[in-house]
Amino acid sequence: MLDFRVRKARPSDRVPLMSFIKDVWGGHDYIPHVWDDWIKDRSGKMFVVEAEGIPIALNRIRFLRDGSAWFEGARVHPYYRRMGLASKLGDNAMKVARDSGAPVFRLTSGSRNKASHGQVAKMGFREIARFSVYEPGKTMRFSRRAGVRIAKEPDLDMVMRSIRGSREYRLGRGALWDGFAAMSLTPDVVEGMLTEESVYVSDGAVAIRRPGREGKEIWNQIGYISGEAARAMDLVDTIFAMEGKFDWRFVMVPQGSPLVGALRRHGYRRSFSNVLFERKAAKG
């Protein structure tokens, strides 16, 4: 019987892990593009399961600005699936996160990945919201709109009132997406966004820009948006009109938001949807 052991990932794990990860999602898995960054990133911790000295499964934990723990990158070699390795990695991740003082754990999964949904439910996570990714057509052009400005630190109270009073805040359970990790829109997090000049406002509408990258791909992302449709679309147009070579522009919107209709009317299309899961850390 094989002896499975969880340990921290090492740079030398790349070759055996990529030997099967390269085939995930038809060869379009993002992990080969981020492995080098992940293995060097001190804000996160990667773990593998090894069998007879060979790594056969992987996951990662990140600690976000709101103090939460974000779980991502779970992969298991096809030969070793249904042997409890995902649960083994998940249990280890929760212990590490709990020992680090994280009050809540979160993760996301594609809306169609039913097998993953069942697995995270077994780990005690529950679905709290669904989001869709909308991107513009390839021929769309953008321009800066009148009335849009970058909010400053003295605007914190106004921005928080606008956010917390919005339907998008309620539907999205207060989530801000930074890449494909979600943190809570706490006053401290929003203040940090203001300091970075990432918050755009227009007559009560609010959008938070989160630039990012995956390997060599650079994107211009709107990780939160709310407000009256016309003003919100002014924010989208202005943010996407920013100078720079972006491989991908996209907006994260909670399902059920009226802004979904506004995006569609302006020519945006949904590329995929994600489910956001959450589990509170056990006390004691």
Same domain, 138 and 269: yes
Would you say residue 44 lies in a domain?
Answer: yes
Buried b / exposed e across 29-41, counting CB within 10 Å, b at 16+? bbbbebbeebbee
Question: Dihedrals φ, ψ of 108, to 5°?
Answer: -130, 160
- Residue 266: pLDDT over 70: yes
Question: How large is the average pLDDT for residues 179-206?
Answer: 97
- 113 located within any domain: no
pLDDT beyond 60 at 284: no
Distance CA 163, CA 170 (A): 9
Do residue 27 and residue 149 come from a single domain?
no
DSSP code at position 130: E
| Residue 115 belongs to some domain of the structure | no
Distance CA 43, CA 199 (A): 24
pTM, two decimal places: 0.93
Q: How far apart are CA 108 and CA 16, in angstroms?
A: 25
What range defines the domain where residue 41 resides?
4-102
Residue ending a domain, choose from 86, 102, 118: 102
User: Average pLDDT for residues 154-160, to the nearest whole number?
Assistant: 98
Tokens of 207: 């959008």
Report how far Cα 77 is from the mean position of its chain's Cα atoms: 24
* Tokens coding 41: 């990133």
pLDDT at 226 over 70: yes
What is d(CA 46, CA 78) in angstroms, rounded to the nearest whole number? 20
Helix, strand, coil % in the chain, rounded to nearest 5: 35, 35, 30
Domain count, the chain: 2
Q: What CA–CA distance (Å, rounded) separates 158 from 164?
A: 10
| Max CA distance (Å), the chain | 68
Name the token pair of 1.
């019987």
In a domain, 156, yes or no: yes
Structure tokens at 129: 């919201």
Whose tokens are 């103090």? That residue is 67
Tens digit of each residue's pLDDT (9 = 90 or more) over 59-82: 999 999 999 999 999 999 999 988
CA 48 to CA 71: how far, in whole Å?
13
The tokens describing 26, both together, are 């038809």
Domain CATH code at residue 201:
3.40.630.30
Supply the pLDDT for residue 240.
Answer: 97
pLDDT in tens, 14-58: 999 999 998 877 777 889 988 998 999 888 899 999 998 999 999
Please tell me the distance from the alpha carbon of residue 140 to that of residue 125, in angstroms, as a whole number. 39
Same domain flag for 163 and 206: yes
Q: Classify 257 as helix, strand or coil.
A: coil
Q: Domain boundary residue among 81, 102, 123?
A: 102
Q: 184's torsion region: left (phi>0), alpha (psi -120 to 50) or beta?
A: beta
Last residue of a domain, one of 79, 102, 125: 102
**Percent of the chain whose predicted confidence (pLDDT) is above 70:** 99
Q: Please tell me the distance from the alpha carbon of residue 50 to that of residue 249, in angstroms, as a whole number.
A: 38
**C-alpha closest to that of 104 among 186, 212, 6:** 186
